[in-house]
Amino acid sequence: MIQDTESRCPCTSLRKASRRISRLFDLAIADSGLKGTQQAIIAEIARSGAIKVGSLADKLVLDAGALAHALKPLERDGLIALAVDAADRRSRLVSLTPLGEAKLAETTERWRKAHDSFETAFGKEQTAMLRATLSLLASDEFAALFEKAQTG
């Protein structure tokens, strides 16, 4: 009997690919002291401006508890600031500090080079298609279709 050595499970395949790409991007910015996940968080805060923690979690497709855990070292290192939202005292706003803005500027070129290296290795057209596919998979619409198929 011939065994298929590759998993046919999309979840397993995505996790394996994600771990590989995450390691490569982590290496690209390693000397900055940031991990790729931290880079992604501060980049999203920079794009969004001061943002509620819950809204940031939604944008990053992260559980709020996992995001809170990920924010602690960024706050400890002075890269972000957390404050009570004056409009909704139950919520906290997260924003970049000047040190966080400087760290983002420091890592942006290396991050961009990692993107370019990915595109060179994978192909420009394939990268665009992959990005579109991953956006779909990360969408609320896909989650709703998946859940409907589970119950249907």
Question: pLDDT tens per residue, the chain (152 residues)?
Answer: 555 567 789 999 999 999 999 999 999 999 999 999 999 999 999 999 999 999 999 999 999 899 999 999 999 999 999 998 788 888 899 999 999 999 999 999 999 999 999 999 999 999 999 999 999 999 999 999 999 999 97
Cα dihedral across residues 10, 14, 15, 16: positive or negative: positive
The domain containing residue 135 runs over which residues? Answer: 18-151
The count of domains in the chain is 1
Query: Which amino acid would we find at residue 107?
Result: T
Triad 45, 22, 36: Cα angle to 5° = 30
132 assigned to some structural domain:
yes
131 assigned to some structural domain:
yes
Which CATH number characterizes residue 57's domain?
1.10.10.10
109 assigned to some structural domain:
yes
What is the pLDDT, as a whole number, of residue 88? 81
64 assigned to some structural domain:
yes
d(C-alpha 79, C-alpha 100), whole Å: 4
2 assigned to some structural domain:
no
3 assigned to some structural domain:
no
128 assigned to some structural domain:
yes
CA distances from 129 to 9, 97, 115, 135, 136 (A): 20, 35, 15, 10, 11
Query: Which amino acid would we find at residue 86?
Result: A
38 assigned to some structural domain:
yes
